[in-house]
Structure 1
Amino acid sequence: MKNEFALLGTLAGTLISTGAWAQVSVQPSTDERIERLTNLVEQQQKTIKALEQRLNDLEMVGARGRGVAGGTGNSAEGNAGGAMTAAGVPSLAQEASPATPGATAAATAATAASATSGSDTPVVGSDARETQQQARVQSKDLVYQSEHAPLFERRLTIDSGFIYSYYDRRALSLSGFLALDAIFLGTINLNQTKSYTLTYDTIARYGLSDRFSMDFDLPLIYRNTNFLSGGAGGSASNLSDATLSTAAPGDISMGLYYQFLRESGAAPDVVGSIRVRAPTGRSPFGIKLVPADPNNNNLNIADQLPTGNGVWAVTAGLSLLKTYDPVVLFVNASYTYNIKRSVSDISSVQGQVTPADVKLGDTFGFGGGLALALNDRTSMSLAFNASISGSTQVTTAGVTQTVIGSRSNVATMTFGLNHVITKGWSVSAAIGLGLTPDAANYTVTLRFPYTF
């Protein structure tokens, strides 16, 4: 036995001596090793960046239910990429320790096993990277949800928030004629209307499948309007004003969304929608005008403010979205058909009742914009939206008349900011600036969507 141990010791000593001699004979110079390590580091950094970018894109697409079948496909492709990195690029440990091939082989095998083991073998720092990636996905999903369509894979989302709109309108009415092209003879009526509307609505979204979703919107509206009029007795210095406010539910609506095409390659994400609005708010028809000041017959105001359109409406829309990380581009178009309705009273004169059929003008809307991810939790958006409505027609006693001035063109430019607070809970803020006389002067929106 001792002889065997001695023989093994002699053999080991011979192998070590031979290995040491071979190491010395083939050992490269220090400059060559530094240059080789530098090249390997650059090569590994390029490979890691490419794989991280690919993994981010796949996880983002998978989280929206678009482009991939599910989490299994992402894991398989990510594992294959990890195995390729381990096999295709030598590790720094292997280059730095050429004299210990056994340890290098073990480290390489452990790296490959870690890359291909999936969730069975956790990687150091993987939880932090997963949390960061999830936040980044949520940041882009806020834009996706607010500008394009619901997130189909999310089972339930409660989106509640406030919308504040301010209007300021001025009008000068002259009823008379010019004498000698310089002197006006007649009555003067100066009108100014300042109005703001505060809407609190709650939207419940539910994903029926990976392509089909629905939502329900319930708004509560508070309106406050101040009327200012001058020209009593033909004098512009005589002013009268009155303030009217009301609070009531608005028109509720329900929408259905279907994803026709999922974003992949050069193809955009295409979602179609149909929405039905019910006239549950206070109708604008039959509201009577009353004098606000007995000394000024120029100022007549409504006895109450409406909170709804008064008719059923159906809206069909189409929305397209394309991601060019970190930029998201989106466009949309819609058409709203207002259903003709018979009302018991259309007159605004006190003591007078006039039944009529009312057909509000249909509306064509379009818009587009872009969103930019500022970091892993915050993104900003810029959008333009416009809607063009036709004239309203009223039929009384078999005679159809077009309401003068009922056509409208509303255009707004919106600047938005989205931020992820915690997982599933986020905040979205936006300010819209009116670009046409029919649009609100400005609109401020603050929403808090929460996903279960």
Structure 2
Amino acid sequence: MPRHLVLVPCLWLAMAGIARAQESTSAADVPRLDALQQEINQQTQRLDELRQSLAQQERNVAELQRVLNEERLGATRGTGAPPGVVIPSLAQQTTAPVVQNLAQQAQPQQQPVGQAPASDSRPPEVAQIFDQPGVLTPRGQFILEPSLQFGYLSNDRVALVGFTIIPAILIGLIDVREVKTTTGIATLTGRYGLGDRFELEAKVPYVYINGDTVSREIFTGSAVDNVFNANGNGIGDVEMTARYQINKGGPDKAFWIGWLRYKSRTGKDLFEVVTDCVTRCVANTTGTGLPLELPTGTGFEALQPGVTWLYPSDPVVFFGSFSYVYNFERDNVSRTVLGGVTEELGDVKIGDILGFNLGMGLALNEKASISLGYDQNIVGKTKQNGEDAPGSVRVVLGTLLLGGTYRFNERVSLNVALGVGVTRDTPDVTLTARVPISF
């Protein structure tokens, strides 16, 4: 019994020691487990940061790829795009932070990632052949563009007044006239880029026009052709245009540019010049029915909305536009005929114009490029007091255009465009020379 009594305390002491040892071991493991948990949290946080950094890098790479596409488009435009979209300057402004960020994160290189090699001159613009340019002026840049246009139109007019007794015999009057018109228009145009996608333009023309009408006097037995000459010169109709690039295109992706043009009536119009008529020109039998001085303006204010599209497809760029000219009606119109007599015409509205054009551009080298296109306008009938004016008809004007541009330096280039009329009412030939100067 005494031996058993001794073993009981010993066993109790041993079990207590084991318990204390386990408690001490558990207390010692707690800090180690906390440290491991903190390390796991730190690793998880670092993984999240690396994941975010990778996502940012992917976005940077996508942005850089877009920029490289734009730079390639700029080079493509140098090989055949119309003038106007501010791709080079817009790409430089958009991609500067991206290129710097990638250059800092990437390993050192002699040239920053994604930055095109420095060029001594920007790619040349494709020759402008239409009145409305397709590419916008860069932000803060001013372009002064003097231009000179020559036009010539020759048209024959045959008027048969009488009645026929059989299909081959006419009893009455045959009036044959040949009209030759020569025009010269000197224009000063200014364009300023208010933003990367917005520009304003003002155009002031000075017009000289000369017309020769060859005919024989009616109701006379004269066998000699008479020439009636008239000319006019002065300021034409001043214009204001605003253009906005709707989207941001790229290679094989169209650019869309919307614009709105306002045309004033600052030039002398047909109602302000003296007409060689004693009675109404429609039934005139005593005068030529022609103005003694030719007008330099249309005499009607107009508003023209339109949209221009550009589609780059290496190595050419296709471009064109759609527009509609709304001519405002004039009330209580009158004109002065020979002898100082005033003839009241009432309310007059010339026909609106639906226009479209299509072209393509191609560069020959870094400085020279050519463009080819077609322009057509459909002119509606003139209204007088709400009715079709006597002798008013719908007119279709079609012109085939060929243009070329040569860039002398960064600031000055020369653009020449030749237009050939393909319908009878269109000028036979127009030759336009422009010299855009950048500031």
TM-score by length of 2: 0.72
| CA positional deviation for 1:235 | 4.2
C-alpha offsets along residues 233-274 of structure 1, whole Å, 9 cap, x if unaligned? 454733211211111100001011111101125431111011
Q: Name stretches of at least 5 consecutive residues in structure 1 with no aligned partner.
A: 1-52, 88-111
Q: Distance in 2 between matches of 1:389 and 1:145?
A: 17
* Corresponding position of 1:70: 92
Matched, 1:319 2:311: no
> Which of 117, 142, 162 is the aligned partner of 1:176?
162
Greater than 6 Å deviation, 4+ residue runs: 78-81
Match of 1:57 in 2: 72
Offset of residue 186 of structure 1: 2.0
* Structure 1 Cα separation of the partners of residues 100 and 434 of structure 2: 35
Q: Aligned residue for 2:45?
A: none
Whole-Å separation in 2 of the counterparts to 1:245 and 1:291: 17
Shift of 1:203: 0.7
- The higher-RCO structure (CA 8 Å, 6+ apart) is 2
Instruction: Say how many residue pairs are matched.
Output: 358
Q: Distance in 1 between matches of 2:351 and 2:164?
A: 37
The structural deviation recorded for 1:380 is 0.3
Distance 1:322 1:74, change over 3 A: farther
Q: How does 1:27-176 map to 2 (within 5 A)?
A: 56-57=71-72, 60=75, 64-66=85-87, 69-71=91-93, 73=95, 113-116=109-112, 130-132=119-121, 134=122, 136=123, 138-140=124-126, 147-153=133-139, 155-176=141-162
The AA in structure 1 aligned to 2:382 is T
Deviations 1:145-189 (A, max 9, x none): 964143243610001111111110111222223445544332221
Question: Is 2:253–2:312's contact at 8 Å kept on the other side of the alignment?
Answer: no
* 1:354/1:387 CA distance change after superposition, 3 Å: same
1:415 corresponds in structure 2 to 402
Distance 1:444 1:315 in 2: 24
Matched, 1:384 2:374: yes
Amino acid at match of 1:65: V
Q: Residues 352 and 141 (structure 1 numbering): CA distance in 2 closer, same or farther, change over 3 Å?
A: closer
Give secondary structure in 2 for the equivalent of 1:263.
Answer: coil
Which residue among 312, 317, 328 is the counterpart of 1:328? 317
Q: How does 1:53-452 map to 2 (within 5 A)?
A: 56-57=71-72, 60=75, 64-66=85-87, 69-71=91-93, 73=95, 113-116=109-112, 130-132=119-121, 134=122, 136=123, 138-140=124-126, 147-153=133-139, 155-179=141-165, 181-230=167-216, 232-233=218-219, 235=221, 237-285=223-271, 287-290=273-276, 299-346=288-335, 348=337, 350=339, 351-395=341-385, 400-452=387-439
Check the 8 A contact 1:149/1:319 in 2, yes or no.
Answer: no
The 10-residue stretch of structure 1 (71-80 or 413-422) with the greater mean CA deviation from structure 2: 71-80
In structure 1, give the amino acid aligned to 2:72: D
Partner Cα distance (1:434, 1:58) in 2:
33
* Counterpart AA for 2:437: Y
Percent identity, aligned pairs only, is 24
Secondary structure, in 3 states, of the residue corresponding to 1:354? strand
3-state DSSP class of the match of 1:267? Answer: coil
Unaligned 5+ segments in structure 2 are 1-67, 78-83, 279-284
Q: Which has the larger radius of gyration?
A: 2
Counterpart amino acid of residue 415 in structure 1: L
8 A Cα contact 2:416 2:431, kept in partner: yes
